[in-house]
A and B are shown apart, each in its own frame.
Chain A
């Protein structure tokens, strides 16, 4: 039987066994991708289904290349990603190292640490919108009561403060993802090199810098890859807190794309923008992948 399949030069058995998986992948991934690529070349409007046949070649893309607001949002998304990821990594690393030191109540703390992840991003958005409200918000009230300021700070209006507020909300919600993954790394870490280093007279910083950190880096890059994909799609928090405003000061790619796609119903145009933004995600993922391979090679003792 198996010989029958192996006739000729091709071994068909693995292909046949993989076929269902390939079929499912084609259906749930490739098909929608091809379909949205096609619609990005049409003037497709959601409310007028017949426009899906109105092929306009690259007009949607041409418009985007000439649209200054789009590129500003593109740049802002990169900035948002970079800052949020790095802050989350540093805080997550700190939390993981601290929790790793605890011997009593560690499990409880680990559970508590995951609370922010359990909230839906929309709720997190509302929560921070009211914390940062300039008139009735807790933050300004606290600052004024403590006598640190005598004016109402417009947290969600000033360009820089508004970005800060949104990044703060994002960091609050997702730092624990980093902490959990890095903590898993710390648990998996072998004791021998640490003890050997101590015997050799390394101080705590040297142990951290040359042993713990290199060991954790693959975990960090995996966390970075996953989070970069999530943050690049940041929508709910921004939508609720500022909806990209005021005057476009906090506009990210996805608030812009969602508005074009659903409120304006211009799905063709929105898909073109979404395709360009996918490039951003691919670039970040590729970069982190390279770093991951590099850090693993380092771990393998090549360097």
Chain B
């Protein structure tokens, strides 16, 4: 036996052992049981579902996927189920931003999943998944936004000299949002090139405003749930977006942008700086799809005027209904879907994991493969997920408040109202919502 063959045999034996280990993990025996589930659908979420058959083989149970829709449609369907009293399924995809709306339809997972399993998850994420002291969801993957930029623009000597002359400090990837503002103005050359961009409608723009508000030292509500986002910090946050918009440093269409517009915009090579979700990383650096592939840098999201970093974050998750007739099977199923090997499948695509060990192993895999870009992405996002991430207020009224806020944010951008007037109006409407909901 040559040395190479020996190594190979050992490798195969090891691989078989590891694989054997995975199969040997006891997912329980639920022969003959049919687990009814409603899952989030979409290209990047599907690869995980291909592994469901492994769980079926291991447990003898069958999984019946009742629906596979995007989050907003799934949300509508779940609300209809609540209204019609047809919550006759066991496992549903959930999201930290949506979870508080559903009241107590979902079971407390602290009672269903072993503490040693829960201990393997990032503690901050379990905290975000808790509503009223109940762990209503198990995080599948999470996301936060960091700043992507075109490296060549910052390395260009002419740019460096011109920027220094105009703004009095060195051109470098920005540490604060004030610097982002300067750099965006500096790089902008509408309609051919833009300094930065942002999403401009729906909960997306509410979230962007919210994280800037927090980074500037403000808050959405005070301790008694009175809206306080029309504070000085709020006006400062909104003026950041309005200022960039009025100066033409962002595309004129941003009030109508959502995630696909900003993602495709940065990939088109016409934007210098782009705050975006980790899930886009691989796409930005893929030469088939992106004009900036090989030229993408990423840094932690910059700081607002209060010295805090923006870090609006949310997690996709799985929940078990209170009315589930076999919670044990359901718990086994969602533990399976979020276990180490399953999260590795998603991490390889650039989706951020929720288990501490998966961060290490995915990083090691990227490093071994010589994928420096993904190493940079995962290190950056790991830090911001651990230190900067925060959720919106976990109250059922969040989406409703968002729906009175975002049209006003747009009104300020397109010049229908001053930032102060727009926020005052939204705060009045939000106060009414909170009052109707019985907060004060």
Contact = CB atoms under 8 A, between A and B. Distances in A.
A140 B191 CA distance: 10
Contact of A245 (B79, B265, B407): B407
Interface stretch (A4-12, A131-139, A181-189, A200-208): A131-139
B143 interface: no
Contacts of A265: 79, 101, 400
A144 B416 CA distance: 28
B200 A47 contact: no
Contact of A246 (B75, B103, B256, B261): B256
Interface stretch (B4-12, B80-88, B150-158, B165-173): B80-88
Contact of A46 (B79, B200, B265, B403): B79
Given A246-B256, A264-B403, A47 B251 contact: no
B268 interface: yes
B141 interface: no
A134 B251 contact: yes
Given A243-B201, A264-B399, A264-B400, A49 B82 contact: yes
Nearest to A259: B403
A247 B411 contact: yes
Given A136-B270, A156-B253, A156-B256, A263 B403 contact: yes
A150 B414 CA distance: 21
B102 interface: yes
Contacts of B261: 133, 136
Nearest to A152: B191
A287 interface: no
Contacts of B400: 263-266
Interface in A248-283: 248-249, 259, 262-267
B110 to A, nearest CB: 23
B347 interface: no
Contacts of A47: 79, 82-83, 101-103, 396
A152 B251 contact: yes
A245 B261 CA distance: 16
A46 B190 CA distance: 46
B264 interface: yes
Interface residues of B, number: 41
B83 A157 contact: no
Interface string B401-413: 0010011101101
Contacts of B390: none
Given A150-B191, A246-B201, A157 B79 contact: no
B121 interface: no
A47 B268 CA distance: 42
Interface of B: 72, 75-76, 79-80, 82-83, 85, 101-103, 190-191, 194, 197, 200-202, 251-256, 261, 264-265, 268, 270, 396, 399-400, 403, 406-408, 410-411, 413-414, 416
A101 interface: no
Interface of A: 46-49, 133-136, 140, 144, 150-157, 162, 241-249, 259, 262-267
B255 A135 contact: no
B316 to A, nearest CB: 19
Contacts of A266: 400
A135 B76 contact: no
Contact of A155 (B72, B80, B253, B270): B253
A145 B197 CA distance: 23
Contacts of A153: 252
Contacts of A46: 79-80, 82-83
B388 to A, nearest CB: 28
B251 A263 contact: no
A68 to B, nearest CB: 12
Main secondary structure of the interface of B (DSSP, over half): helix
A148 to B, nearest CB: 13
| Most-contacted residue by chain B among A135, A242, A264 (CB, 10 A) | A135
Contacts of A241: 256
Nearest to A249: B414
A133 B264 CA distance: 11
Contact of A135 (B80, B253, B410, B413): B253
Contacts of A157: 252-256, 414
Given A47-B101, A140-B191, A157-B414, A246 B255 contact: yes
A270 to B, nearest CB: 12
Nearest to A44: B83
15 contacts: A46-B83, A47-B79, A135-B194, A135-B253, A135-B270, A136-B264, A152-B190, A156-B256, A243-B202, A246-B414, A247-B255, A262-B76, A263-B403, A264-B399, A267-B83
Contacts of B85: 49
A259 B261 CA distance: 22
B410 A247 contact: yes
B98 to A, nearest CB: 10
A247 B414 contact: yes
Contacts of B200: 245-246
Contacts of A247: 255, 407-408, 410-411, 413-414, 416
Given A152-B191, A242-B256, A135 B251 contact: yes
A227 to B, nearest CB: 26
Contacts of B407: 244-248
B83 A49 contact: yes
A293 B202 CA distance: 45
A69 to B, nearest CB: 9
A241 to B, nearest CB: 8
B174 to A, nearest CB: 22
Given A136-B264, A259-B403, A263-B399, A245 B256 contact: yes
A249 B406 CA distance: 13
Contacts of A262: 75-76, 79
Nearest to A159: B414
Contacts of A259: 403
A138 to B, nearest CB: 12
Contacts of B270: 135-136
A136 B265 contact: yes
A248 B103 CA distance: 30
A267 B84 CA distance: 13
